[in-house]
Chains A and B, each alone.
Chain A
Amino acid sequence: MNLTVIKPGFQDLVQDLGRDGYTHLGISPTGAADKASMKIANLLLGNNVNDPVIEITLFGGSYSFDCTTTVCFAGSHFPASIKGKEIPFLKPVAVKQGDILTISGSTSGARCYLAIQNGFNVAKLLESSSTHLMSKSGGYRGRNLELNDRIPFNKPEKRQFPLDLKFAIDYDRSVIRATPGLQFNLFDKPYQELFFGKEFTVSHQSNRMGIRINGPKLQKNTSQDIITEGLPLGAVQVTGNGDSIITFVDHQTTGGYPKIANVIAADMHKVGQLRPGDSFTFEHITMDKAESLYQEHEAIFKQ
């Protein structure tokens, strides 16, 4: 049973929740950029939350199915259709053998997720099906899907889909909440205030490793470099030029730039939906508040 790529999208990737347990070997955790949407797409099909999906970025392509099954979309809205009939998001959709699914450009954020009953079935690398582009590893041949690629999916069985699930996820990308970063105090108060006050705009030079954001130039109060150390997901690193980069899912495991702030876990899905040109501000949140927001966020998926 395969999905065949008739026309590839901008960046179609096989992803799951990521490859934990190997950062001490320099291996990135990777995984879906918006894990909340990925989980929702799976849960609506009655799948395991970690079943492999296809992550579609900015615009999709055309894909055919050689077997009847059920799929579900979640995330930002991308108009999608089968035989000219628009298909809904956040609902299981039956596809028949020979159907061609066409997905166009996003009308809102950067990504949507195509889940399939029982998941796509690519060889696992270190227990995960996620693609890591920089090391060309995992997922489907360690790369974006290309013309004529055939992505196997698992056999569907007759199943009652859960119809009463509702997920209260905030997708507002105009405010992203963050805690002070490991080197917050290497920035003097005026720079801290600029960071938590001024607007940032997402640069075109962003990818799954890092989201480059243009905004106020920030300068640390010492000429000394920091000693290379582990990078937390969502850390906002400030380069020597004073530019900010949000450490993202495919990040290198260690880095030597100071980290002024860290996006809270409960808002990381918003980062996965940022598009080049989007503007937003950072809101300062205490660690305690961030932790309770994280717990609330996780509870959404445990119904």
Chain B
Amino acid sequence: MDYQKDKIKSPSITPASDRSIMLRFDDGISEYIHEHVFYFHSLLVKKFKKKIANTSPAYNSILIRLADGVSVWRMIAKLKQLFEEEHEISIEQKQTVRIPVCYDKEFALDIDRVSKHTKLSTDEIIHLHTKGKYLVYFLGFSPGFPYIGGMDQKLETPRLNSPRIEVMQGSVAIGGKQTGIYPITSPGGWNIIGRTPLILFDWNKISNPILPMGARIQFYAITHKEFSQHQGTLF
């Protein structure tokens, strides 16, 4: 989608530490701001390759951690200069990735908790969760963990009071207003409502992640038998 020049938002640019800079576009979460983050993140990484050690794009911000020796203030001046130039945001729309999820009790460790909180039956939860069209806003927390927006707010359920030490790889979960998938086994505090048999993170395919920032996704329900057939398949 293209935006007129006058509609492009410039971020606030502030030091986050003596080795990092925060760019913040706006105060909310929206696909419009996401497109800014997506576009400018790619641009910054390309333009300042040698000055940037790494970056963390998020909902409405980009954190830049500087390469050794690069000055925060000098980099901020360069960034401000960049945003004075004209920009046209263009984003290639990605294909929707369809993700099979088995919502069986064996995997859905917290579906009763979600049911109790939302006052929805298991079937209604599955229906609402598979009906949604989702966007991967960014990857963060742990390797390949997608922050996914677009969940029906009727499914909102607070996080667990104390996080689990180990959430199994492939677990699909609800944390507050968000839904997510644990690509690797890791600690986690979200309500688990199912599991996908697919491997969604592969250290050997880093440059081409299965669920990259900006991906559109949709979930579909599968049976326990189908889960077993697909288990461990690389997406």
Contacts and interface: CB of A to CB of B under 8 A. Distances in A.
Interface of A: 20-27, 29, 125-126, 134-135, 137, 179, 181-182, 227-235, 252-255, 262-265, 287-288, 290-291, 293-294, 298
A229 B60 CA distance: 8
Contacts of A27: 143, 206
29 contacts: A20-B54, A20-B65, A20-B67, A23-B56, A23-B65, A24-B55, A26-B139, A26-B143, A134-B186, A135-B143, A135-B184, A135-B186, A182-B22, A227-B61, A229-B22, A229-B56, A230-B20, A232-B16, A232-B17, A232-B65, A233-B20, A252-B141, A254-B140, A254-B141, A262-B17, A265-B18, A287-B15, A291-B73, A298-B68
Nearest to A285: B18
Contacts of A21: 53-54
Contact of A29 (B28, B29, B54, B138): B54
B59 interface: yes
A264 B16 contact: no
A236 B233 CA distance: 40
Contacts of A293: 18
Contacts of B58: 227-230, 254
Contact of A233 (B57, B60, B65, B68): B65
Interface in B125-147: 138-145, 147
A274 to B, nearest CB: 18
B203 to A, nearest CB: 7
A291 B140 CA distance: 27
Contact of B69 (A25, A179, A298): A298
Contacts of A288: 73
Nearest to A263: B17
Contacts of A252: 140-142
B19 A253 contact: no
**Which applies to chain B's interface (DSSP): helix, strand, loop or mixed?**
mixed
B71 interface: yes
Nearest to B73: A291
A179 B139 contact: no
Contact of A126 (B17, B73, B206): B206
B94 to A, nearest CB: 16
Contacts of A228: 58-59, 140, 147
Contact of B16 (A23, A135, A182): A182
Interface in B1-46: 14-20, 22, 24, 27-29, 41, 45
Interface in B101-146: 138-145
A10 B72 CA distance: 38
Given A21-B53, A232-B65, 7 more contacts: A22-B54, A126-B203, A182-B22, A229-B59, A230-B61, A291-B18, A294-B18
